[in-house]
Amino acid sequence: MLYVSTRGGAKPQPFTAVLFEGLAPDGGLFLPEEFPRLSPAELAAMRSMSYRELAFAILAKFADDIPAGDLKRLIDKTYTKEIFGGDDITPVKKLDSGLFLLGLSNGPSLAFKDIALQLIGNLLEHVLEKHGKRLNVVGATSGDTGPSAEYALRGKKNVQVFMLSPEGRMSPFQAAQMYSLQDANIFNIAVRGVFDDCQDVVKAISGDFAFKARHRIGAVNSINWARVAAQVVYYFKACFAVGGEASFAVPSGNFGNVYAGHVARSMGLPIRKLIVATNENDVLDEFFRTGRYRVRKAAEVKATSSPSMDISKSSNFERYAYDLVGGDGAKLRAIWEGLDREGTLDLSGTGYFRRVAATRFVSGSSTHADRLATIRRVWKDYGAMIDPHTADGVKVGLEHREEGVPLVCMETAQSTKFSKTIREAIGREPSRPAGFENLEKLPQRFEVMDADVGQVKHYIATATSRSV
Ligand SMILES: *Cc1c(COP(=O)(O)O)cnc(C)c1O
């Protein structure tokens, strides 16, 4: 299988070549030339597979340039009971007749990003070793990506991680998740500033091609294709668990999770509706309701109680838009150049927007008050404690629920990460999973720096030269 750019200007490449790429050289995102279609016989055979078997059956189609034996070994090493708390990996919990929670947050950082990043950590180590290369991953986090990436890459050979985070602006739990790691290949940089300052520094570094080449800088960000591919697996697992066609309610920010559902459906999985749930930062909800996609200015982005969905634009959305324009890279490029110029894209009244209905995407948004009410309701009615992101999904999912169609709500984080909101909603402290009891009391290790590109580059250069 070969991967092309959404903007039509990159030469087709195999999976391992795009594995650690952020943007394609033409500024677009990589995706497969064509989605693999599963035959009814293949789908039927998948029904009884374990998570690991299913992951192999699906990922072997996307990563067909990794020898099957290697891929199988990497998958078997990733999706284990030890790492994900059970052999189900993504357990389905029934709340009510036709209403389910899909547990995606049982990995080491207690957020759904672990499912893809744990695999990427192993793929990365394998490919670097094979090619005798090293990589320095530089990233910025507002809370969930950083811990997931660090837990995925800690202790891995030939990889170092430089993670920028806004000093004093994450939940104490999230900060402790990263800062308590003592692995020699993890470097936490606490920036005096907000998340956007961190991201600006990372962007400046990514734009300095000479520095990037000299220090072998890479990214494992939300537009990475391998992350999408790994997330396709649990849609299959969930449909089989609830017995067939289902709708999915997905708390969304960068559109990576719900886009994986679109890929699963394009492969032949019977998904009815993909329900996009946003918080007050409703870029995606606005698009699906009106056909207008409007990038928010940094000052417009609200700091909410579901912070992992606080985005100004949705980075994987371009891949979906590519499908809306029928896979025509030149057309998508023209549309996206307009978006980059104007900050808005208006597809309302076009044939492209009419295609949205055919893809069965629907949406809705949720507020802080909605989150509190939903957490309270799910606790009272079903005895389940859900986190604020999951609550956004449940709230919007229930608005689109259909009689006779199972509704699967994605549980994207554990409540213990957001204890302040849980206390506000139901007046009690979420329980801590084993091993996390004293997290905030562990010794912490981080450097504090200004949001200064020169200072951060100097730090990275010094650390990378020491390690060679
Ligand atoms: C990242 C994240 C999301 C949003 O997922 P996208 O793939 O960016 O849409 C939702 N909930 C939690 C807890 C997250 O960490």
- SS3 of 97-137: the string is CCEEEEECCCCCCCECHHHHHHHHHHHHHHHHHHHCCCEEE
- Could you tell me the CA-to-CA distances from 364 to 120, 130, 174 in Å, in that order? 31, 45, 27
- Is the CB–ligand 1 distance for residue 309 below 6 Å? yes
- The average confidence (pLDDT) of the chain is 94
Q: Which of 61, 113, 273, 457 is catalytic?
A: 113
User: What sign results for the dihedral spanned by CA atoms 454, 458, 464, 468?
Assistant: positive
The CA 307 to ligand 1 mean position distance, Å, reads 9
- Is the CB–ligand 1 distance for residue 173 below 6 Å? no
Domains of the chain: 10-23+44-86+110-224+442-467 (3.40.50.1100), 92-107+228-426 (3.40.50.1100)
C-alpha angle with apex 418: 413 to 423, nearest 5 degrees? 130
- Is the CB–ligand 1 distance for residue 313 below 6 Å? no
The bridge status of strand 246-251 relative to strand 407-411 is parallel
Q: Which helix (H) or strand (E) holds 464?
A: helix 453-467
The predicted-structure confidence for 40-60, as pLDDT tens digits, reads as follows 999 999 999 999 999 999 999
**Crossing angle between the packed helical segments 68-78 and 113-131, to the nearest 10 degrees:** 140
- Specify the residue with its C-alpha closest to ligand 1, atom 14: 308
The CA 144 to ligand 1 mean position distance, Å, reads 8
Q: Which atom of ligand 1 is nearest to the CA of 256?
A: 7
Phi, psi of 274, rounded to the nearest 5 degrees = -105, 115
The CA 306 to ligand 1 mean position distance, Å, reads 9
pLDDT at 299: 86
Give the distance, in angstroms, between the CA of residue 259 and the centroid of all CA atoms in the same chain: 10
- Is the CB–ligand 1 distance for residue 111 below 6 Å? yes
291: left (phi over 0), alpha (psi -120 to 50) or beta: left
- Is the CB–ligand 1 distance for residue 310 below 6 Å? no
The CA 310 to ligand 1 mean position distance, Å, reads 9
- Is the CB–ligand 1 distance for residue 389 below 6 Å? yes
The CA 330 to ligand 1 mean position distance, Å, reads 30
Task: Tell me if residue 269 falls in helix, strand or coil.
Answer: coil
DSSP string, 29-72: -EEESSPPPPPHHHHHHHTT--HHHHHHHHHHHH-TTS-HHHHH
pLDDT at 25: 86
- Could you tell me the CA-to-CA distances from 305 to 143, 153, 308 in Å, in that order? 12, 28, 9
- Is the CB–ligand 1 distance for residue 308 below 6 Å? yes
Q: Active-site residue 113, yes or no? A: yes
Q: Which atom of ligand 1 is nearest to the CA of 143?
A: 15
- Specify the residue with its C-alpha closest to ligand 1, atom 1: 308
pTM here is 0.95
Q: Where are the alpha helices (DSSP H) in 243-385?
A: 256-266, 283-290, 317-324, 329-342, 351-358, 368-382
The predicted-structure confidence for 284-339, as pLDDT tens digits, reads as follows 999 999 999 999 988 898 989 999 999 889 989 999 999 999 999 999 999 999 99
The CA 454 to ligand 1 mean position distance, Å, reads 31
pLDDT at 435: 86
- Is the CB–ligand 1 distance for residue 390 below 6 Å? no
Place of tokens 């284990």: 80
The CA 131 to ligand 1 mean position distance, Å, reads 32
The predicted-structure confidence for 208-237, as pLDDT tens digits, reads as follows 889 988 999 988 878 899 999 999 999 999
Q: Which atom of ligand 1 is nearest to the CA of 231?
A: 7
- Is the CB–ligand 1 distance for residue 257 below 6 Å? yes
- Is the CB–ligand 1 distance for residue 418 below 6 Å? no
User: What sign results for the dihedral spanned by CA atoms 220, 116, 274, 397?
Assistant: negative
Q: Are 54 and 233 in contact (CB under 8 A)?
A: yes
Question: Position 71: which residue type?
Answer: L
Q: Which atom of ligand 1 is nearest to the CA of 412?
A: 13
Query: What does DSSP assign to residue 310?
Result: -
pLDDT in tens, the chain (468 residues): 999 999 999 999 999 988 877 788 898 999 999 999 999 999 999 999 999 999 999 999 999 999 999 999 999 999 999 999 999 999 999 999 999 999 999 999 999 999 999 999 999 999 999 989 999 999 999 887 899 999 999 999 999 999 999 998 888 899 999 999 999 999 999 999 888 889 889 989 988 889 988 999 988 878 899 999 999 999 999 999 999 999 999 999 999 999 999 999 999 999 999 999 999 999 999 999 999 999 998 889 898 999 999 988 998 999 999 999 999 999 999 999 999 899 999 999 999 999 999 999 999 999 999 999 999 999 999 999 999 999 999 999 999 999 999 999 999 999 999 999 999 999 999 988 888 989 999 999 999 999 999 999 999 999 988 764
The first and second tokens of residue 399, run together, are 């608005």
HSE (CB half, 13 Å, CA atoms) of 5? 18
